[in-house]
Amino acid sequence: MPSRRPFFAALGLGLSLVLGTGAAHAQDTKIKFQLDWRFEGPAALFLAGKAKGYFAQEKLDVTIDAGNGSGNAVNRVASGTYDMGFADLSALMEFHGNNPTAPNKPVAVMMVYNNTPAAVFSLKKSNIKSPADLVGKRLGAPVFDAGRKAFPIFAKANGIDLAKVNWVSMDPPLRETMLARGDVDAITGFYFTSLLNLNARGVKDEDIAILPYPQYGVKLYGNAIIVSDAFLKKNPEAVKAFLRAFTKGAKDVLADPDGAIRFVKERDAIIDETLEKRRLRLAIAGSIATADARAEGFGDVRLPRMALMASQVADSFGTKERINPDRIWDGNYLPSKEARNILGK
């Protein structure tokens, strides 16, 4: 009768390999990541690292979820619902200023939008050619819109009397519609969102006037990668690994923006690929691969600029307490400067 020992030996080896593989996966650090908005073009910056296995190579099990605003992303990371997220730095500063005793205040660890995408939009027929032309006009935006909340900074930089600007509030889906039909003279919004929304409502580029905040004296930082303070203290090496993998994915996206939209399509099959390609390119040109980003280095910040922004946000947003920039930003987890040299020419 043939011996069964070789069979059981092989079975044991197979089981050990399977269990060993399971153990290896069990050691991967789980990270729940919250985007600031829906799965649109700029989300490719994060989805590429997931799709190409860069996070997995760093022993990370990353889940990326769509969001519904930077304020909510900050709150969800602060509550521990998510470990990390992507949010406007102004929203993070506002949280710190209004929640000084919160036990788990998120920290920004990597800058992605070196320049805020906030801008003022109008139709050229309104003849708004400069910030001074906004005096006496009706401006529209949701009350929580980042551009609206930062408008006092824009106004101060351009000598506008806030008392002479009239605000109209609306829900986000109505903002561009109200501008297109003349219910307001101008709106605030992210340029790669509002511009394309106006196009979708039949307004052509040549009929739109745009006043980007960075071009009119407002040097606010935009969106950054944030992390829960508790998660950061418990998993510092995982945060470093996440930023390394993200940087590799972002490099690929910047090298081939159009091709990267397929990663977004995989998460939301009904997106308009042509539209999202343009949105991503607008985000890269206006907020990511900017002159300021090249001077400071992708992912990094200048502390004096950060400190000025903290002071401006505290004044403009009317926070309960002054904002300490040292508690907002921690650049000790960034990949090397060489690894972050991804902006190209």
What pLDDT does residue 144 have?
Answer: 87
pLDDT, tens digit (0-9, with 9 covering 90-100), for 245-302: 999 999 999 999 999 999 999 999 999 999 999 999 999 999 999 999 999 999 999 9
Task: Quote the pLDDT of residue 19.
Answer: 47
User: Mean per-residue pLDDT for 8-24?
Assistant: 46
Domain 22-115+221-333 has CATH 3.90.1150.10: no
| pTM of the predicted protein model | 0.90
Domain residue ranges of the chain, discontinuous segments joined by +: 22-115+221-333, 118-216
* pLDDT for 11 beyond 70: no
Do domains 22-115+221-333 and 118-216 share one topology? The answer is yes
Q: What is the mean pLDDT of residues 214-230?
A: 96
Q: What is the 3-state secondary structure (H, E, C) of the chain?
A: CCCCHHHHHHHHHHHHHHHHHHHHHHCCEEEEEECCCCCCHHHHHHHHHHHCCHHHHCCEEEEEECCCCHHHHHHHHHHCCCCEEEEEHHHHHHHHHHCCCCCCCCEEEEECCCCCCEEEEEEHHHCCCCHHHHCCCEEECCCCCHHHHCHHHHHHHCCCCHHHCEEECCCHHHHHHHHHCCCCCEEEEEHHHHHHHHHHCCCCHHHEEEEEHHHHCCCCCCEEEEECHHHHHHCHHHHHHHHHHHHHHHHHHHHCHHHHHHHHHHHCCCCCHHHHHHHHHHHHHHHHCCHHHHHHCCECCCHHHHHHHHHHHHHHHCCCCCCCHHHCECHHHCCCCCCCCCCCC
pLDDT score, position 16: 46
* CATH fit for domain 118-216, picks 3.40.190.10, 3.30.460.80, 3.40.50.2300, 3.30.230.10: 3.40.190.10
Task: State pLDDT tens for residues 58-82.
Answer: 999 999 999 988 999 999 999 999 9
For residues 189-209, average pLDDT: 95
